[in-house]
Amino acid sequence: MELPEMKYPLSREQLLDLYYFMRLTRELDEQLVRLFRQNKVVGGLYSSIGQEATSVGTAYTLEKRDWMAPMIRNVGGLLVKGFRPRDILMQYMARSGSPTGGKDGTSHFGDLQERHVVSPISMLGDLIPVMTGVAMGGRYLGQKLVTMTWIGDGGTSTGAFHEGMNLAAAQRAPFVCVVENNQWAYSTPVARQVPLHDLAERARAYGIASYVVDGNDVVAVYQTTKEAVERARRGEGPALVESKTMRMKGHAQHDAAVYVPPEMFEYWKARDPIARYETWLTERKVWDKKTKAEIERRIERELKEELEFAENSPLPEPEVAERGVYCEGCHTIEARWERPIEQLQPPKASVQAAWTVSDFGGTNGGGAAAKAHAPEAAEETKPAAVAAKAAAVSTRGANGGTKRSARAAARPKRRR
């Protein structure tokens, strides 16, 4: 192999894994389209074609102990976390063998016990505070986990998004938010709903580290997100990763997306994430034609078996409709402590109920009566350089000496 230098190296097996999951996601998506046209899909169908690198590349950075909460276009993340194609197929077909027993559709299911997946919430933005809470809970229990969820460009304008990001920042939660900027909030382009080119700028208002990445480059997505994940795991606070990609279909199968200029589709079609990654693997001699053919045959075989299983799965019986509406001993969820509980109880956990405010919240740091907070020029920086620069920032105290500005030192810059 002839691989470029990577901060987070990937083995040949892992590189092929990324291709397998992206290609499986694409083939599964196209299979669902065929089922939809055969009237075998119950309800709507939401395509993730064109966004596979984002879902797969971000989810692949998580460890088994980590938690994630997908949205409707994050089927690739579910596959990475261990769900099978039959789970997605039966979910869309409302079969009794689906994760929800035929009671819900799309990706609206989870697994709190083994895979650590929180079910999606249709009210966009609401998963941000939820996953912040899961991150805080994991830290409290000493689990050293990281949580992740995704949000679309339109969802970043919801109140829940901003409230959740502020909470995550204030609590320094080990949480990573992936913004899938796929250019369209249904039929509204990004430029018509927010006066920003990079949605990552929104994280800066809360002092959150943010990154912008080419969402159709799976290796770049993995490297960037892995950095955000490890940063959060080290206790350095939450992070936001903006992945610039494109929704290559309408909002759902009923939407022909006639509002999208044809030339925009052509631009992004030339940057298809799977085709790009195939070229990347070939140029770096990670695989050959035989290996690629083997992966394709494997996916074809697996999807055929999974589809047969799903189609042979019966529809739910009418009498089960009332079951599971309320939990009456259906499961038991208990806190899994991975730290001595005594650490969180007095006297070890006792702290003085007083806070130190270095500059008393005033304007005496810079000698001016008021400060202008104009947007800073965008910089292309690395986290190490950012940390060094932040550490060097100081403000002049009232006594003429210098002291570190906690606010300036804690404010991370985003990386393009």
Q: Report if residue 408 sits inside a domain.
A: no
Confidence of residue 365 (pLDDT cuts 50, 70, 90): low
Q: How far apart are CA 328 and CA 373, in angstroms?
A: 54
The answer to whether residue 232 scores a pLDDT higher than 50 is yes
pLDDT of residue 347: 87
Could you tell me the two tokens for 213? 């990445």
Q: Catalytic residue at 277?
A: no
Q: Are 395 and 365 in contact (CB under 8 A)?
A: yes
**251 has catalytic annotation:** yes
Whole-number Å distance between alpha carbons of 132 and 374: 29
Determine the pLDDT at residue 390: 40
Residue 234 annotated in active site = no
Q: How far apart are CA 166 and CA 239, in angstroms?
A: 12
Using pLDDT thresholds of 50, 70 and 90, give the confidence band for residue 244. Answer: very high
| Alpha carbon distance 72, 150 (integer Å) | 10
On the question of a cis peptide bond just before residue 347, with omega within 30 degrees of 0, the verdict is: yes
Flag whether 374 is in a domain.
Answer: no
pLDDT band at residue 203 under the 50/70/90 scheme: very high
Report how far apart, in Å, the C-alpha atoms of 71 and of each of 118, 149, 396 are: 10, 8, 47
Would 389 be classed as within a structural domain?
no
B/e letters for 130-164, b = 16+ CB within 10 Å, e = fewer, are bbbbbbbebbebebbbbbbbbbbbbbbbbebbbeb
The answer to whether residue 348 is domain-embedded is: no
**pLDDT greater at residue 25 or residue 328:** 25
Q: Is 1 exposed, middle or buried (0-12, 13-18, 19+ CB in 10 A)?
A: exposed
**CA distances in angstroms from 259 to 72, 153, 263, 291, 342, listed in the order given:** 21, 17, 12, 40, 59
**Better pLDDT: 415 or 187:** 187
Instruction: Return the pLDDT at 392.
Output: 39
Phi-psi map region of 102: left, alpha, beta (phi>0 left; psi -120 to 50 alpha): left
Three-state DSSP at 296 gives helix
Q: Which residue has the higher pLDDT, 409 or 181?
A: 181
User: In the predicted model, what is the mean pLDDT of residues 30-50?
Assistant: 93
CATH number for position 41: 3.40.50.970
Catalytic residue among 108, 251, 276, 396: 251
Residue 123 main-chain phi, psi, to 5 deg: -75, 100
pLDDT digits (tens, 9 = 90+) for 147-173: 999 999 999 999 999 999 999 999 999
For the segment 86-143, what is each residue's pLDDT rounded down to a tens digit?
A: 999 999 999 999 998 888 888 889 998 899 999 999 899 999 999 999 999 999 999 9
Q: Is residue 329 part of a domain?
A: no
The mean per-residue pLDDT over the stretch 300-329 comes to 90
Per-residue confidence (pLDDT) for residue 363, from 0 to 100: 82
User: Does the residue 384 lie in any domain?
Assistant: no
Q: What is the DSSP string of 98-109?
A: STTTTS--TT--
Q: Where does the pLDDT of residue 372 fall: very low under 50, low under 70, confident under 90, or very high at 90 and above? A: low
At residue 416, the pLDDT reads: 43
pTM, rounded to two decimals = 0.85
Catalytic residue among 139, 247, 414, 415: 247
User: Does residue 374 or residue 218 have the better pLDDT?
Assistant: 218
How long a stretch of residues is the chain? 416
% of the chain beyond a pLDDT of 90: 71
Rounded-to-integer distance, Cα 373 and Cα 396, Å: 18
Q: Kindly give the pairing relationship between strand 394-396 and strand 402-404.
A: antiparallel
Residue type, 337: W
- pLDDT beyond 60 at 376: no
- What's the whole-number mean pLDDT along residues 185-194? 92
Residue 181 contacts residue 153 (beta carbons within 8 Å): yes
User: DSSP label at 195?
Assistant: S
Residue from 34, 259, 339, 407 carrying the catalytic annotation: 259
Please tell me the predicted confidence (pLDDT) of residue 405: 39
Both structure tokens of 177 = 């938010």
User: Taking 80 as the threshold, does the pLDDT of residue 43 lie above it?
Assistant: yes
* DSSP conformation class of 112: T
Number of domains forming the structure of the chain: 1
328 located within any domain = no
Tell me if 365 is assigned to some domain.
no
Q: Which residue has the higher pLDDT, 406 or 123?
A: 123
* Mean pLDDT, the chain, whole residue set: 88
Residue 36 has pLDDT above 70, yes or no: yes
pLDDT interval class at 277 (50, 70, 90): very high
284 pLDDT higher than 80: yes
Which residues neighbour 189 within 8 Å (Cβ) at sequence distance 6 or greater? 183
Q: Which domain holds residue 136?
A: 12-317
